[in-house]
Amino acid sequence: MFEFILSVLIMFTSGVIACIFGRHPRKSSFIGAGGAVIGSITGLTAAIRTIFNDVTIYKKGICAFNIGALSTGIDQLSAFFLAPLFVLVAASSIYAVQYLKPFYAKKNIGLFWLFFNLLASSIATLVITRNGVFFLVAWEIMSVSSYFLVTFEDEHKSVRQAGIIYLISSHIGVMFLFFLFVMMGNACGSMEFADFSSGLSNLLPVSSIIFTLAVIGFGVKAGFVPFHFWLPQAHPAAPSPVSALMSAVMIKTGIYGLLRILMFIGPPRLWWGIALLGIGLISGILGVLFALAQHDVKRLLAYHSVENIGIIAIGIGLGLIGLNKELPILALFGFAGSLLHIINHALFKGLLFLGAGAVVQQTGTRNIELLGGVFKKMPVTGITFLIGAAAISGLPPLNGFASEFLIYFGSFSCITDSSLTPAISSLLAITGLALIGALAVACFTKVFSIVFLGHARSAAAEKASEPGKMMQSSMVFLAVLCILIGISMPLIIPGFRGLLAEVSGLASSEINLFLGQAKTTFVFINKIYLVLAVVFVFLLLLRKKMLAKKPVRTAPTWDCGYNQPSPKMQYTGSSFAQPITDFFNFILRADKKAELPSDTFPKKISMHTESNDIFMRYIYEPLSAKIYSLIMKLRWIQHGRLQVYILYIVVTLLILIIWKLG
């Protein structure tokens, strides 16, 4: 416990000191990043020890207010969320040191580090806190500090707008959380988590309301469709290391909160599981479809967060269904898959955001249609980005495959179950995951090949070069972790013992059975990987030998006889994705502006597609317009005359006094 509090303190203090040194950006970066890294290492070692030694600590707070003591505690669930947090904080802070260099003259770097370290330490705090009020305070610090990070480049109008949308949405979310904690506190007579777990488990009529509030309140932060709308706005606006941290770990606090609440409210009902499965499928499929239609690389990655949160929700949904229907295999594989996916998504999404940030910094554009051929200039970024892209597409032998495999396996095991609900839920999960997987491959082959392969489509892409060594090392670090987790699953899977006991509440005999089964399966999978590697290396050597003595020539790409190819003739990202986006246009509803060729010698043709968020367009914008016009009708109350405002106060006070006395 001490290590975690220490790591929070180190990160927080270094952030404050970095802010004080704001006038010396180099020193400030050094202190801010240094504190973040040291704090992360302190916390990470403790988190890993907690996971493998199955430690649970609960410390009642020393300061007792009438909201309860500010208790803290560490259990398996906390440790599973802290581990990726610390990894990502370390990686993105090292990255940020070099990423921020171009901003030295323009911006207050000290403020960046203050909010960055505040964000990191507030996430860590909310994961280790065991008190509702304390939790909400940390939650608010997290939201507000990330708001200031999102609006780092506030000279752009789009950034300010994204910031406002983010601020509003996170406060709508927190409103539900206030209701949630007030209800739970009311039911248990305390805000301490320790009292929740004993007091809430038999509150049957209220538990469904609490579940609903949790899904909405935490769902806004996690990015469940239809509460995801802030993600594609805020992630592109934020500086890349911040997008990495937000997308990789901050949105997971929503999942953490949801799981925590589920642990309090007793045996799950069937509809909870089905609801989460449904939300997961919708988020997963819509997320990846919207991603496919984007041209802005960071916006695209943001939509993929929606997709991956969907996969996590599918796993939790299956887990709840499994618990309700007493199918331990479905429950354990579902929970294990989604919890592993939380860690995996943190790693590969963080990696992808850092990679995208490197490309954006080197070329000055986020529009993938203006890039191309970057791989030759930035090989390290390219390779690590490819690893991230393959991992997020769920391809073997990377970590994304391992977690999706667990969810698939649980579903396949229950497809043979005779009762209908688990069979149909599993079927939906399998089909949904298959569709999501295929679409993700489509999306990431698109991003990778349009950005990194072929010829440069603009001068900016032409002059790109590798980012600094610190930025590279962060990306390499995360990429190595993606590979390592993918191939060392037999070693990792035993670490799930304590966590699964905590989350599922199942007997240890069933958990051991699961761990054994999962481990044997992954050993088999590793054998196949080994064969793949051996065959590949063998072919590589054979090919080298074959071409060694022959004259290998270079000639232009086959252009069908046209003798002046230009980079503009390459396939673009939009054209690559067009068959799929056209097919799904009934969902995407993209705007198309086309100037088609008119006469015999057409002068100019153009085509522009833009895919805006349908939820934003058809739900939130009309809704906010309605609210706005309603509020405008009440504008006469607020006209700027101070004396009348004082009158309002006096009248209110009078009414209160009369009410109290009467």
**Residues 536-565 close enough to bind other proteins by CB under 8 A:** 536, 539-540, 543, 546-547, 550-560
Q: Are 9 and 120 in contact (CB under 8 A)?
A: no
178 binding other proteins? (CB under 8 A): no
Cβ 136 to other proteins shortest distance, Å: 41
Q: Which is nearer to other proteins, 31 or 288 (CB)?
A: 288
Q: Judged by CB under 8 A, which of 189, 267, 364, 579 binds other proteins?
A: 579
Cβ 517 to other proteins shortest distance, Å: 8
423 binding other proteins? (CB under 8 A): yes
C-alpha distances out from residue 164 to 120, 138, 167, 452, 617, Å: 21, 20, 5, 33, 17
Coil, strand or helix at 72: strand
Cβ 84 to other proteins shortest distance, Å: 23
Closest CA to 86 of 136, 54, 42, 143: 42
Q: Are 374 and 363 in contact (CB under 8 A)?
A: yes
Cβ 236 to other proteins shortest distance, Å: 24
Q: Which residue has 């009248």 as its token pair?
A: 651
Residues 6+ apart with CB under 8 A from 364: 460
Q: Judged by CB under 8 A, which of 567, 614, 616, 620 binds other proteins?
A: 567
- Determine the Cα–Cα distance for residues 538 and 26; give it in Å rounded to an integer: 49
In the range 381-420, which residues lie near other proteins by CB under 8 A? 386, 390, 393-396, 401, 405, 408-409, 412-413, 415-416, 420
Coil, strand or helix at 581: helix
Q: Which is nearer to other proteins, 4 or 409 (CB)?
A: 409
In the range 31-60, which residues lie near other proteins by CB under 8 A? none
Stretch that binds other proteins, among 120-128, 136-144, 183-191, 371-379 (CB under 8 A): 371-379
- Determine the Cα–Cα distance for residues 309 and 258; give it in Å rounded to an integer: 12
Cβ 599 to other proteins shortest distance, Å: 24
Q: Are 342 and 81 in contact (CB under 8 A)?
A: yes
In the range 444-483, which residues lie near other proteins by CB under 8 A? 444-445, 448-450, 453-455
Q: Are 23 and 110 in contact (CB under 8 A)?
A: yes
Stretch that binds other proteins, among 30-38, 140-148, 368-376, 495-503 (CB under 8 A): 368-376
Q: Are 234 and 221 in contact (CB under 8 A)?
A: no
How many residues touch other proteins under the rule CB under 8 A: the total is 79
- Determine the Cα–Cα distance for residues 589 and 476; give it in Å rounded to an integer: 38
Cβ 330 to other proteins shortest distance, Å: 13
Q: Judged by CB under 8 A, which of 206, 427, 460, 614 binds other proteins?
A: 427
496 binding other proteins? (CB under 8 A): no
Stretch that binds other proteins, among 153-161, 178-186, 493-501, 579-587 (CB under 8 A): 579-587
Q: Are 326 and 318 in contact (CB under 8 A)?
A: no
Q: Which is nearer to other proteins, 541 or 651 (CB)?
A: 541
Cβ 228 to other proteins shortest distance, Å: 22
- Determine the Cα–Cα distance for residues 404 and 552; give it in Å rounded to an integer: 42
Q: Which is nearer to other proteins, 132 or 315 (CB)?
A: 315
Q: Judged by CB under 8 A, which of 139, 274, 576, 611 binds other proteins?
A: 576
Q: Are 179 and 135 in contact (CB under 8 A)?
A: no
Tell me the DSSP string of 309-361.
HHHHHHHHHHHHHHHHTT-HHHHHHHHHHHHHHHHHHHHHHHHHHHHHHHHHH
Cβ 602 to other proteins shortest distance, Å: 18
In the range 84-103, which residues lie near other proteins by CB under 8 A? none
Coil, strand or helix at 390: helix
Q: Are 327 and 455 in contact (CB under 8 A)?
A: no
In the range 213-232, which residues lie near other proteins by CB under 8 A? none
Q: Which is nearer to other proteins, 11 or 359 (CB)?
A: 359
In the range 503-542, which residues lie near other proteins by CB under 8 A? 517, 520-521, 524-525, 527-529, 531-533, 535-536, 539-540
